Chains A and B, each alone.
Chain A
């Protein structure tokens, strides 16, 4: 199946700074890439996603970029706030249905 790698595993930033999380995938057939935010003991929540026919997507302070040639995609959070602190997971889907997740990034935003 698909192999998704995610970096860094932990990320600590000062409030107001930007945070970038990167993922690579192995299956060139993957065409849907969601990002999830998970707070401790809670379910993952979709925060943004991108499809393979788009290179970039933005939603307020959150943006995702996709490079199909290099098979990597990134999550960008600007003007970080303490409530952004959580674990973030990227995922790749080969058929818009089955998701394979990255290993997660624990983001800590220091006030």
Chain B
């Protein structure tokens, strides 16, 4: 089946620094990649939709300049949390979308736990 990886799996950074998270589709080319944020015991909140070679589409309320998304190829998307603050601490999950006939299926990465101190 389709495999999506994320790196790193967890990261601790100091307030004010930037952190880059990678999302890769290992055995398929993803039409689209998505970035979600999940707080403890809460749901997945869609942050942005990322298409290869074009600018990401951000959901309402998500700061574009704070959460930079780059989609360099059909197998790699990166999320950079700039000038991180403790409130950015969260579980970030990416997913990659692949066409299944007339519909799409999303495959999720294992997530990256970010802790900002």
Q: Report A's interface with B, CB cutoff 8 A.
A: 1, 6, 32, 34, 41-46, 51, 89, 93, 96-104, 106
How many residues belonging to B are interface residues under a CB distance threshold of 8 Å?
Answer: 25
Selected contact of A1 from candidates B32, B59, B109, B111, CB within 8 Å? B59
Enumerate chain B residues within 8 angstroms of A32, measured Cβ to Cβ: 103
Enumerate chain B residues within 8 angstroms of A104, measured Cβ to Cβ: 41-43
Enumerate chain A residues within 8 angstroms of B84, measured Cβ to Cβ: none
How many residue-residue contacts, CB under 8 A, span A and B? 52
Complex: chain A residue closest to B99, CB-CB: A96
Q: Report B's interface with A, CB cutoff 8 A.
A: 31-32, 34, 36, 41-46, 49, 59-60, 93, 95, 97, 102-106, 108-111
Knowing A1-B59, A96-B103, A98-B34 are in contact, say whether A43-B43 is a contact too (CB < 8 A).
no
Knowing A1-B59, A43-B109, A43-B111 are in contact, say whether A100-B104 is a contact too (CB < 8 A).
no
